[in-house]
């Protein structure tokens, strides 16, 4: 994605994007890589639109930044390895022998626990390995299925083809199993496969558009919403048949999942700001806070009454209300840009989380079985 793709964004957002890209690139160089959790927690909350997030992630990729959900930052690892904070909270008159004993247990118990756990894990057979691989694929397919139940996710899958054509992503970055240099594959064949798949998704996107619109407008579970959801599930189920022989690279999936995580976090943050503004002004809701602000602007009597009841002067009250009002404007814009409401976003993210949990549990099972094999060979 080139800078011309974000020219329509506000200048301050464009500047913030460049600063954030530089900051995260520097962070990646210092730590060796970035984690999804890091990006999710530290990315500026103003970067909320799909275009801005897409530009941010594409720029990191072009800068050679490695994003791996399995790698923890150096800072976090160092803090976890340090016992200073724990030791500072120990009672001063603790017995030295007790302390030495606890240190010994702390070093040996995890090893014993690990070996006991490894001993309880069966050696992996070929059939067992295939079964676990199927569980991983099933979980990851559930993530993709959940993603495609939303306008954002559908757009992101379609966008894979555009990014591939523009040379901003490689075939081996999309499909699992092609990352190793030793793997031989027909690149044209895989390019055709992704274009065929995106053709199906594009037709799905068009058919789902009116259903997406109903779901966006219907916040509660009305008959119209339930009917639209059932129709969308039927379309989605038919579409997923085209994904049976397509196994996306997990990083490709994570790139889209990050956007949903950011979306959920930004909604929570904006709602918190609105709630804070309402609570700090002792108002019933934001609308009543705005009305009270209007009432005191040119009415000395109302201002004195408000100050007596809340302890707030005009400037402090106005500051709280405007901050909450700005958060509400941004929240409304976010829902408009994503073409989704909060209930829908939460339901989608929950479905994504369930798929992630299933896939990761299967991966853990595979790792434990492989470690058990290593232990058995070593012994």
pLDDT of 2 strictly over 70: no
Average pLDDT of every residue of the chain: 79
Q: How many domains does the chain have?
A: 1
pLDDT in tens, 197-235: 999 999 999 999 999 999 988 766 788 888 999 999 999
* CA–CA gap between residue 34 and residue 147 (Å, rounded): 23
Say if 4 falls within a structural domain: yes
Q: How many residues does the chain have?
A: 379
Give the mean model confidence (pLDDT) for residues 304-317.
92
Q: What is the CATH number of the domain that holds 4?
A: 1.10.220
Between helices 11-31 and 50-62, what is the axis angle to 10°?
A: 40
pLDDT digit string (tens) for 159-177?
Answer: 988 888 888 888 888 888 7
Instruction: Tell me how far apart the terminal alpha carbons of the chain are, to the nearest angstrom.
Output: 53
Query: Does 6 map to a domain?
Result: yes
Q: Is there a domain that residue 147 lies in?
A: no
pTM above 0.85, yes or no: no
Neighbours of 29 (CB within 10 A): 12
Print burial letters for 120-140: b (CB count within 10 Å at least 16), e (below 16). Answer: ebeebeeeeeeebeebbbebb
- How far is Cα 39 from Cα 74, in angstroms, rounded to an integer? 15
pLDDT score of 287 more than 90: yes
273 vs 78, more confident: 273
Residue 190 domain-assigned?
no
Residue-wise pLDDT for 233-286, tens only, equals: 999 999 999 988 888 888 888 888 888 888 888 888 999 999 999 999 999 999
Confidence of residue 34 (pLDDT cuts 50, 70, 90): confident
Q: Which helix (H) or strand (E) holds 362?
A: helix 342-378
pLDDT surpasses 50 at 92: no
The domain of 46 spans 1-77
In a domain, 55, yes or no: yes
Domain-embedded: residue 136:
no
The answer to whether position 53 is within a domain reads yes
């Amino acid at each position: 994605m080139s800078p011309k793709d974000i020219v329509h964004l506000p200048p301050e957002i464009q500047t913030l994007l460049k600063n954030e890209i530089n900051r995260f690139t520097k962070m990646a160089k210092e730590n060796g890589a970035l984690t999804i959790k890091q990006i999710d927690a530290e990315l500026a909350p103003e970067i909320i639109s799909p275009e801005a997030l897409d530009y941010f992630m594409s720029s990191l990729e072009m800068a050679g930044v490695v994003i791996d959900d399995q790698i923890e930052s150096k800072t976090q690892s160092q803090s976890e390895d340090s016992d200073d904070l724990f030791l500072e909270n120990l009672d001063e008159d603790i017995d030295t022998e007790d302390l030495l004993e606890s240190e010994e247990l702390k070093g040996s118990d995890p090893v014993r626990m690990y070996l006991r756990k490894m001993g309880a894990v069966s050696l992996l057979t070929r059939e067992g390995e295939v079964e676990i691989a199927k569980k991983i694929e099933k979980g990851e397919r559930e993530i993709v299925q959940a993603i495609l139940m939303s306008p954002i996710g559908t757009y992101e899958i379609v966008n894979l083809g555009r990014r591939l054509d523009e040379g901003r992503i490689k075939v081996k970055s999309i499909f699992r199993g092609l990352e190793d240099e030793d793997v031989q594959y027909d690149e044209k064949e895989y390019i055709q496969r992704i274009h065929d798949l995106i053709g199906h998704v594009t037709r799905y996107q068009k058919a789902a558009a009116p259903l997406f619109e109903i779901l966006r407008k219907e916040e509660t579970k009305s008959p119209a919403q339930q009917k639209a959801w059932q129709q969308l599930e039927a379309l989605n189920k038919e579409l997923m048949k085209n994904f049976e022989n397509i196994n996306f690279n997990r990083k490709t999936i994570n790139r889209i999942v990050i956007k949903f995580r950011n979306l959920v976090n930004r909604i929570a943050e904006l709602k918190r700001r609105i709630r804070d503004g309402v609570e700090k002004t002792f108002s019933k809701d934001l609308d009543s806070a705005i009305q009270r602000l209007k009432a005191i602007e040119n009415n000395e009597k109302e201002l004195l009454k408000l100050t007596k009841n809340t302890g707030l002067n005009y400037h402090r009250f106005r500051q709280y209300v405007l901050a909450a009002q700005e958060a509400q404007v941004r929240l409304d814009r976010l829902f408009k840009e994503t073409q989704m409401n909060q209930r829908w976003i939460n339901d989608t993210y929950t479905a994504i989380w369930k798929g992630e949990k299933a896939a990761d549990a299967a991966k853990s099972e595979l790792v434990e079985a492989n470690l058990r094999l290593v232990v058995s060979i070593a012994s």
